[in-house]
Amino acid sequence: ATVTRRLAAEPSPLAFEPAGTALVIIDMQRDFLEPGGFGASLGNDVSLLASAVPPARALLAAARRAGLLVVHTREGHRPDLSDAPPAKLARGEPSARIGDPGPMGRILIRGEAGHDIVPELRPEPGEPVIDKPGKGAFYATDLASILSARRIDTLLVCGVTTEVCVHTTVREANDRGYRCAVVADACGSYIPEFHAAGLAMIKAQGGIFGWVTDSAAVVDALD
Ligand code: TIU
């Protein structure tokens, strides 16, 4: 039997059915969270993302207990870079660009160590992993097919970075008709004011892109 859950969120509480809800964990990869990867190559202090890991772990555990669909995403490219636009390849330190060798293998390339999801959030067998070439998880992926096959209408979204891949994915999802609740403490950014502004933008204007909640509220709603 389905039991409707009530999630404390802003700008308003959100009722959801577990069977119609997916947890989407965006790009919690070593390339963004650890030194020597893509995030660092762009000039960022990667330690700023560490705070998102424990809340994301708590969310992941609660979602698994409740039987939610869990989807993981990874940003990255084919080894021959054929899916990487020149405009994207030209960013970052000239000596450490996408495809260049680094301490975790070639930067932002599928199959390399840096492309892996951090061990604390490792996907389990059966949980879809979406490899995406862009910032949004819908662009050039089969995420929409996977969600529609499961009749998913609500997404709990977390990951990194708040204003880049989380925001782009939420905007894409909102236009596709999904109700999105972004889990604030399970997101992170290299730029704290952008994290705060990104969350504020989602819930402003009556929830123009969706809802904002936190991991404790999600765990409370699911358990
Ligand atoms: N995953 C993701 O957000 N990709 C980025 O490039 N983020 C930055 O903040 N640079």
Task: Please give the full DSSP string across 90-146, using - where no structure is assigned.
Answer: T-S-TTS-TTSEEBTEETTBTTSGGGSBPGGGPPPTTS-EEEESSSSSSTTSSHHHH
Give the mean pLDDT of the chain. 97
Q: Which of 128, 108, 126 is nearest to 116 (CA)?
A: 108
Contact 33, 118 (CB under 8 A): yes
Instruction: Please state the atom number of ligand 1 nearest to the C-alpha of residue 168.
Output: 3
Ligand 1 center–CA 6 separation, angstroms: 31
**Alpha carbon separation from 198 to 8, 33, 135, 165, 166 (Å, rounded):** 19, 19, 15, 11, 9
pLDDT tens, position by position, 165-185: 999 999 999 999 999 999 999
* CB of residue 163 inside a 6 A radius of ligand 1: no
- The answer, yes or no, to whether any atom of ligand 1 lies below 6 A from the CB of 60, is no
**19-61 tens-digit pLDDT:** 999 999 999 999 999 999 999 999 999 999 999 999 999 999 9
- Ligand 1 centroid–CA 104 distance in Å is 17
Q: Is there an atom of ligand 1 within 6 Å of 160 CB? A: yes
Task: Kindly give the residue spans of alpha helices, DSSP state H, lying in 1-52.
Answer: 30-33, 38-41
CA of 135 to the centre of ligand 1 (A): 7
- 27 ligand 1 Cβ < 6 A: yes
pTM: 0.98
Alpha-carbon distance of 56 to 70, in angstroms, equals 12
* Whether pLDDT at 1 is above 60: no
Residue 93 near residue 43 (C-beta atoms within 8 A): yes
Annotated active-site positions, please? 27, 132, 165
Which numbered atom of ligand 1 lies nearest the CA of 38?
Answer: 6
Ligand 1 site, residue 191, Cβ cutoff 6 A: no
Distance 117 CA to ligand 1 centre (A): 14
ipTM passes above 0.95: yes
